[in-house]
Amino acid sequence: MNIVVCTKQVPDTAATLKVDEQSNVSWGDAPLVINPWDEYAIEEAIRLKEKHGGKVTVLSVGPEQAREALKQAVAMGCDDAILVWDASLDGSDTLATSYILAQAIKKIGSVDVVLFGKQAIDGDTGLIQGGVARRLGWPLLSFVAKIEELDPAAKSIKVNRLLEQGRQAVTSQLPVVISVVKEINEPRYPSFMNIRKASKLQIPVWDSGAISVEAGKVGRANAATKWTRVFPLPARTGSVEIITGDSPQAIASALADKLMAEKII
């Protein structure tokens, strides 16, 4: 099994984000981490390797500092890491990023499964995996809550997908692109051995030439979508009205009065 897991480095979920008048987003001294959704994809990739053999390569498009996210993935148990970056890729949007990742996956070659977290917590689009699947011409199995069966010899897979109304069971032939939801597993902590391995690992950087990316399709200048402004949420107006009463029944009645007066129930 040749498994690729894609990850993105993002600000920590507990970070307090600030945005200035020029739409620059900052997060103080909060660390950059592996996108939390990707931890489930990394764990699932490692479990597939442990069960079926093969190799897990973790892949990220990002600047030099994204190396840390890749090392963290290797410390969890991925075998190899590849950083895809050069200055021309900076500012790529979802359409371009799916192209860059698909080109990198093609260069890795003979991949059976590509795994993603369901979305990155900064851009929050959840569009990359579908774009990558389409570019590779492979089925997209998104929002997977369980890999029920995988037969490397028959190159077949059966998954359970978590949708709004319930769970869809889907089978497919490999290769496939999968995105996973949190329910699929409990990500492991890095092991001492793997942390040592990660600290010594030489992570290659593939530039746009290495993956045959056309310059006119990537980078900020060619992005189809442009973020024109980033700003904080409007403050909630008014403060909380605390409902009190002599008994739970009196409180319930007073609260019901308020909600009915607002016509929300």
Subset of residues 37 to 96 that bind other proteins, contact rule: CB under 8 A: 37, 93-95
Kindly report the three-state secondary structure assignment for every residue of 162-177: EECCEEEEEEEECCEE
Instruction: Quote the CA–CA distance of 204 and 176 in Å, as a whole number.
Output: 25
Instruction: Out of 30, 32, 172, 188, point to the residue binding other proteins (CB under 8 A).
Output: 172
Each residue 117-146 as x (binds other proteins by CB under 8 A) or -, in order, gives ----xxxxxxxxxxx-xxx--xxxxxx-x-
Instruction: Quote the CA–CA distance of 14 and 38 in Å, as a whole number.
Output: 16
> Given the complex with other proteins, which of 153 and 264 has the nearer CB atom?
264
CB of 80 vs other proteins, minimal distance in Å = 27
- Total of chain residues touching other proteins, rule CB under 8 A: 83
Q: Specify whether the CB–CB gap between 8 and 69 falls below 8 A.
A: yes
Each residue 179-208 as x (binds other proteins by CB under 8 A) or -, in order, gives --xxx-------------------------
What contacts 204, CB < 8 A, 6 or more positions away?
Answer: 82, 83
CB of 143 vs other proteins, minimal distance in Å = 5
CB of 259 vs other proteins, minimal distance in Å = 7
**Residue 22 is a binding residue for other proteins (CB under 8 A):** no
Q: Is 159 exposed, middle or buried (0-12, 13-18, 19+ CB in 10 A)?
A: buried
**Residue 162 is a binding residue for other proteins (CB under 8 A):** yes
Q: 152: which DSSP letter?
A: T
Radius of gyration from C-alpha coordinates of the chain: 22
Instruction: Quote the CA–CA distance of 153 and 165 in Å, as a whole number.
Output: 33
Could you say which residues in the range 246-265 bind other proteins, by CB under 8 A? 247-249, 251-253, 255-256, 258-260, 262, 264-265
**Residue 116 is a binding residue for other proteins (CB under 8 A):** no
- Which range binds other proteins by CB under 8 A, 72-80, 107-115, 204-212, 232-240? 232-240
